[in-house]
Amino acid sequence: MEWSWNGQTVEFLSQCFLDMLSPAPEPRRRAQTSLARAANCSNYGLMLLRLAAEPLEDYIRQAAAMYLENHLSNQWSSLLPWEKERIKSLIVPLMFSAPVKIQIQLGRAGAVIGYQDFVRTWPGLLQNLIQKLENASQASDYASVYDSLSIADSICKKFYRRPITTELILELRYFLDTFAAPLLEVFLKTASLIDASVNSSPNVLCPLFESQTLCCSIFHSLYNMERSEFFPVRMKEWETEFEKYLNTTYPSLEEDRDEVGEDYLLSELRCSARYNLELCFLYADETRTSKYCTFYFISYK
Under 8 Å between Cβ of 92 and 50: no
- The residue range of the domain holding 42 is 1-117
Count CB atoms within 10 A of the CB of residue 235: 14
* pLDDT at residue 252, as a whole number: 84
Terminus-to-terminus CA distance in the chain, angstroms? 60
* pLDDT at residue 231, as a whole number: 73
Rounded distance, CA 36 to CA 148, Å?
31
Whether 148 and 260 share a structural domain:
yes
Whether 125 and 63 share a structural domain:
no
Rounded distance, CA 152 to CA 111, Å?
8
Whether 163 and 220 share a structural domain:
yes
With a pLDDT cut of 70, the percent of the chain lying above it is 86
Rounded distance, CA 78 to CA 84, Å?
10
Whether 70 and 144 share a structural domain:
no
Whether 127 and 252 share a structural domain:
yes
Tell me the whole-structure pTM to 2 decimals: 0.78
The DSSP bridge partners found for residue 2 are: 42
* pLDDT at residue 117, as a whole number: 76
* pLDDT at residue 119, as a whole number: 67
Query: Which of 155, 64, 154 lies closest to 106 in space, CA to CA?
Result: 64
Q: What is the pLDDT of residues 264-282, one digit of tens each?
A: 888 999 999 999 998 887 7
* pLDDT at residue 300, as a whole number: 42
Q: Report the domain count for the chain.
A: 2
Radius of gyration of the chain (CA): 22
The least confident of 48-52, 182-186, 292-296 is: 292-296
Q: What is the pLDDT of residues 166-192, one digit of tens each?
A: 877 788 888 888 898 999 999 999 999
Amino acid at residue number 96: F
Whether 15 and 136 share a structural domain:
no
Whether 101 and 70 share a structural domain:
yes
Whether 97 and 160 share a structural domain:
no
Whether 159 and 39 share a structural domain:
no
Q: What is the pLDDT of residues 92-132, one digit of tens each?
A: 888 878 887 888 788 888 878 877 776 667 777 888 889 98
* pLDDT at residue 153, as a whole number: 87
pLDDT higher than 90, residue 63: yes
Whether 247 and 290 share a structural domain:
yes
Phi, psi of 204 (to 5 degrees): -85, -45
Phi, psi of 42 (to 5 degrees): -65, 155
- In the chain, the largest separation of any two C-alpha atoms, in whole Å, equals 67
Q: What is the pLDDT of residues 210-237, one digit of tens each?
A: 999 999 999 988 887 766 667 777 888 9
Under 8 Å between Cβ of 63 and 105: no
Rounded distance, CA 67 to CA 299, Å?
45
Whether 177 and 260 share a structural domain:
yes
DSSP at 2: B
Identify the domain boundary among 66, 98, 117: 117
Identify the domain boundary among 63, 88, 117: 117
Whether 251 and 261 share a structural domain:
yes
Identify the domain boundary among 60, 94, 117: 117
